[in-house]
Amino acid sequence: MTRHLIIIIFLLLYSGKLFSQINVESVTVTGNDYLTRTEIFNMMITARNSPLSMDQYLLDLKTIRDRYKSLGFLFMKFENDPLKISEDSSSAEIELIISEGKRIKVGEINITGNKSFSREKILSGFETKAGDVLNDAELNRDIVSLLKSYEKAGLPFAKIIVKDISVNKSGETDNLNIDILIDENTRITIDQIRIKGNETTKDYVIARELDLDEKNKIVDTESLLEIKENSTG
């Protein structure tokens, strides 16, 4: 067992040393159309006439893929293995042959479960629009903003999830369909008022000052904040 462990450690150390001795002789890019070679090179740390780091090389490939994805090229890929190591393991060539694929934009945004707000009302407040390239950060902001709208409408327990994001290839162009599921849950209303700790002031006076004297009043986020401010002020 100990002998096997020593061999494994030796191999790991040797492989790390081996890759550190490999010099990158060239880095080339072909097949790109939307992004220029300069833009791609600027995304890479791995460069010509530098030692090869496998971790950094793989991270560079991921960075390029992620950039293409953010621009709508969801099926971008590298043709073949870009890394070519010489027979004596002294040098390497990196040949990035890029297949960008089609640029896919947002097609339909389907919304189900909404009752308090119409689909048109919801989509009018979205940054994400049909015909745009999908931006994950924008879609997340749209969801957060919609949740706040539900809170203000007295539905603080509403839940919103992106149920599915799929590519629709039925038309002339490929589009991205987004399915959003909304669970509005129920409104919160004041059913009973209990006030403790008061000795000189009547309950109804305190309730009136806190704007709690109305039974079955719908409670939203703003009213809860007002109650907190009035009670501490």
In order of their start, the domains of the chain are 2-99 (3.10.20.310), 105-183 (3.10.20.310), 188-232 (no CATH)
Name the band, by pLDDT with cuts 50, 70 and 90, for residue 216: very low
Give me the half-sphere count of Cα atoms (radius 13 Å) on the Cβ side of residue 212. Answer: 20
Question: Which two three-digit tokens encode residue 169?
Answer: 């290839």
Element (H, E) at 136: helix 136-152
Question: Which two three-digit tokens encode residue 76?
Answer: 């971008």
Name the band, by pLDDT with cuts 50, 70 and 90, for residue 57: very high
pLDDT tens, position by position, 31-47: 999 999 999 999 999 99
Residues 6 or more apart whose Cβ sits within 8 Å of residue 164: 177, 178, 179
Q: Residue 86: is its pLDDT beyond 80? A: yes
**pLDDT of 168:** 87
Mean pLDDT of the chain: 83
Give me the half-sphere count of Cα atoms (radius 13 Å) on the Cβ side of residue 196. Answer: 0
Cα 140-222-215 angle, rounded to 5 deg: 130
